[in-house]
Amino acid sequence: MGNTTTLRRALRDTFFPYVERKGFGIDKSRQPQFTTFRRITDRTVQVFDIQWDKYGKPRFVINFGEAPIEGVLRYGVPVEARNVEVFDCKPMLRLQRRRGGTMGCWFQLRRPVLQQLLTFQREYTPEEVVREVLAAFPDAEEWWASRADGRHIHGLSNA
């Protein structure tokens, strides 16, 4: 079993059904480092992906944004709304454990050092990480609804 297997399974069993109930469809293309979800509304396509650590560590971040329902141009080529990726969105944002630009802000099994010292536990359970994601996801929903800046949102420059 790989380093990320239990965390991926916990997300698949709990988080995926949660976002599917909210109207998101999973992109069936298989990319081990990314899992993409899209929801089409009257005016926009809302998209997010789960980006896994490229070195195989059990941590991930959720990138998200939205694009016009008409689609976008990617390198001068038209892309339909149903094929829009997060990197096509302006702005592109991140949903993570806390604000900041370091990998320590990503959702992950490893606890912050201070918590390790206080709890005598090195890691969270996969279920605890998924609960953390479920608690943070309303910040992305609020951003899509009103552009409100949540405490779990970190802006990225993709101009």
Residue 92 lies in a domain: yes
The pLDDT value given to residue 77 = 95
Within 13 A of 111's CA, how many CA atoms are on the CB side? 14
Q: Does a structural domain hold residue 82?
A: yes
On average, the pLDDT of the chain sits at: 92
d(Cα 6, Cα 11) in Å, to the nearest integer?
9
User: What's the predicted TM-score (pTM) here?
Assistant: 0.91
- What is the average pLDDT across 86-108? 91
- Print the domain residue range for 51: 5-154
Of all residues in the chain, the percent with pLDDT exceeding 70 is 96
Tell me if 66 is assigned to some domain: yes
Q: How many domains does the chain have?
A: 1
Give residue 72's region: left, alpha or beta (phi > 0; psi -120 to 50).
beta
* 159 within a domain of the structure (yes/no): no
Smallest CA-to-CA distance from 134 within 21, 4, 27 is with 21
